[in-house]
Amino acid sequence: MPDINKKIRIIRSNRKTLAIEITSKQEILVRSPYSIDDEYIYSFISKKRAWIEKHLKDPKYSQQDTEDIAFLSSEDIKQLADRALNYIPERVKHFAAAADVTYNKITIRNQKTRWGSCSSKGNLNFNCLLMLTPPDVIDYVVVHELCHRKEMNHSKKFWNEVRKILPEYKRSQQWLKDNGISIIRRMTG
């Protein structure tokens, strides 16, 4: 196994927690609050070494030949965003009633790292690439973000809220884990 320290890139921001991400180019991104020093970050990486090495060996994280990927043009992305704007707000409306939550603005974006997000103000963001996934996966992401209106974390209480609305959510979650990277890679051409 090559020295993982050579593949690490630290990105500091106003976030509150440390997070590790393996990119499609097998780079190890460490997202960190400004307040955490390098020594603590490298200690954190050391504790996560087994997880990092496992994911670096996983074929879905290895770099694919770009010839095998049908990259999306800017026109393709625009069409996906238009489709998402027509489809996702209706799903949000439907599931917000089921979850008994409110929300503010819905924004459709083309993102390389997230399928959706929910701000503390109730603003919802969704990735236009969701339109390349099955309808039940779109519903899962919508429900996931709406449940953050009750629990702004991924605690057991949060997952219980998701399960109340979508008892079979783990199938869609697994579909995204298995297929999501190959969809997102279509944007990186």
Q: What percent of the chain has pLDDT over 70?
A: 88
Q: What is d(CA 148, CA 105) in angstroms, rounded to the nearest whole number?
A: 15
In angstroms, the CA 155 to CA 4 distance is: 30
pLDDT tens-digit readout, 75-93: 889 999 999 999 999 999 9
Taking Cα atoms as reference points, which of 39, 33, 30, 37 lies closest to residue 17? 33
What's the whole-number mean pLDDT along residues 3-7? 68
> For the residues 151-175, what does the mean pLDDT come to?
95
Q: What's the gap between Cα 137 and its chain centre?
A: 12
CB 22 within 8 Å of CB 28: yes
Global pTM reads: 0.66
pLDDT of residue 59 exceeding 60: no
Q: pLDDT at position 71, please?
A: 74
Contact criterion met (CB below 8 Å) for 176 and 126: no
* Amino acid letter, 10: I
pLDDT in tens, 117-156: 999 999 999 999 999 999 999 999 999 999 999 999 999 9
Mean pLDDT computed over 7-26: 79
Residue 109, pLDDT above cutoff 70: yes
Question: Whole-angstrom Cα distance, residue 96 to residue 70?
Answer: 35
pLDDT beyond 90 at 23: no
Q: For the chain, which domains are there?
A: 4-63 (no CATH), 68-185 (3.30.2010.10)
Q: Is 144 exposed, middle or buried (0-12, 13-18, 19+ CB in 10 A)?
A: buried
3-state SS class at 117 = strand
